[in-house]
Structure 1
Amino acid sequence: MASWLPETLFEIVGQGPAPSKDYYQLLVTRSQVIFRWWKISLRSEYRSTKPGETKETHEDFLENSHLQVQIALIFGARILDYVFNLCEGKFDFLEWLSDDLLLSILSYLDLEDIARLSQTSRRFAKLCTSDKLWEQIVQSACDHITPDMRALAQDMGWRQMFFTNKLQLQRRLRKRIQRQGSQRSSEL
């Protein structure tokens, strides 16, 4: 399965913690962890400092606690954990799927499963509350969606529309149609 993966598995750049102005890049390929740095300083002793680079195989990185500490300080513990998992061959293949494909898959889940999945990551929280997903769910639950229903859903949101009971939706649709009728008559 690893052969399906691109050459670059992960890349992040960032600035060191204050008061540092140094820049860092962390690149994880299929076979190496590459850590690069650029010293940014006004002090004369650092002006001629060249950028640096450390390359480690995945196995060597797992043993290099000094490099791990640097990565945790600069990019945080979550990034270090993610890089650790990549080096151990634990790939999150869901991360490589497009949002449209994931939304299509999510539309087949039960509501309880969508609620649970939304709590697993920021990406899934965003997808599980997106109007695109709830539009698909409403369309699969309804036989026919009228243009008035579609306009109401765009006003109130597809998720809200799904969870609103039928009587309330009918009232809102009637009010919307009445407003549109009164607007048209006032324009004439």
Structure 2
Amino acid sequence: MASLLRGTIYENRAQAPAPSKDYHQLLVTESEVIWRWWKISLRSEFRDVRPGEQKNSYQDFLDDYTLQVHVGVIFGNEVLKYVRNLCQHQFDYLNRIPEGLLMYIVSFLELEDIARLSQTSRKFQKVCNSDKLWEYIVSRYCDTITPDMKTLALEVGWKEIFFTNKLQLQKKIRRRRQKIEELIDDEAFSDYE
């Protein structure tokens, strides 16, 4: 797991809240917190101001209340809390796992476990509700996937396909075919006019 913490551990960029136009970057590496800023102003007194950078060790960042206030104002309290945890060596390894690998791991869970996992964080909610995951689950549980099912899945999503019973699914596919036929008939009728 230590190999996941090489180089840049966290990076975020944002513009300061209005009316300021200043641009800020927060970078956490394996040994320090780097705060960079670019002053953006049309006022003459700020025209010659160069970008700035402040590098702090983890402990210096934890001791610098003013810098923490700036981080909280620019990036929000959740980011500040996360950076503080990083500085205290409380790393969230799950947050660093690539999404594809995470989706592969989640695909082995039972449906109830996927539902529970989706409620733990935004990242897990995104993974557990992704179309790729539900396409895999549908293919695992269904004997055959027809082209009509694939087309309907593009419209309503694979999760909806999975939780729709077969009778309702057949009705939806039939309705979709009827709409397409009606569109074709309307186009053919309009060609005669």
Q: Give the TM interval when normalised to the shorter protein.
A: 0.7 to 0.9
One-letter amino acid of the structure 2 residue matched with residue 108 of structure 1: F
One-letter amino acid of the structure 2 residue matched with residue 56 of structure 1: N
Identity rate, percent = 57
> What displacement does 1:33 show?
0.3
Gapped runs of 5+ residues in structure 1? none
Alignment-derived partner of residue 63 in structure 2: 63
Alignment-derived partner of residue 76 in structure 1: 76
Cα 1:60–1:138 shift into 2, 3 Å: same
State whether residues 4 and 96 of structure 2, in contact with CA within 8 Å, keep that contact through their aligned partners in structure 1: no
* 1:77-119 deviations in Å (ceiling 9; x for gaps): 0110111121112222222222222221122222222222223
Q: Secondary structure at the match of 1:14?
A: strand
Alignment-derived partner of residue 168 in structure 2: 168
> What displacement does 1:121 show?
2.9
Alignment-derived partner of residue 190 in structure 2: none
Alignment-derived partner of residue 95 in structure 1: 95
> What displacement does 1:12 show?
1.3
> What displacement does 1:182 show?
9.2
Alignment-derived partner of residue 4 in structure 1: 4
Counterparts of 1:99 and 1:119, CA distance in 2: 17
Counterparts of 1:135 and 1:14, CA distance in 2: 35
Residues 123-162 of structure 1 aligned to structure 2 (within 5 Å): 123-162=123-162
CA RMSD of aligned residues (A): 2.7
Q: Secondary structure at the match of 1:144?
A: coil
Equivalent pairs counted in the alignment come to 187
Residues 35-54 of structure 1 aligned to structure 2 (within 5 Å): 35-54=35-54
Deviates more, 1:85-94 or 1:38-47: 38-47
> What displacement does 1:70 show?
1.0
> What displacement does 1:51 show?
2.1
Deviates more, 1:152-161 or 1:12-21: 152-161
Counterparts of 2:128 and 2:103, CA distance in 1: 8
Counterparts of 2:21 and 2:28, CA distance in 1: 23
Gapped runs of 5+ residues in structure 2? 186-193
Counterparts of 1:177 and 1:149, CA distance in 2: 11
Alignment-derived partner of residue 112 in structure 2: 112
Cα 1:140–1:64 shift into 2, 3 Å: same
Q: Secondary structure at the match of 2:41?
A: coil
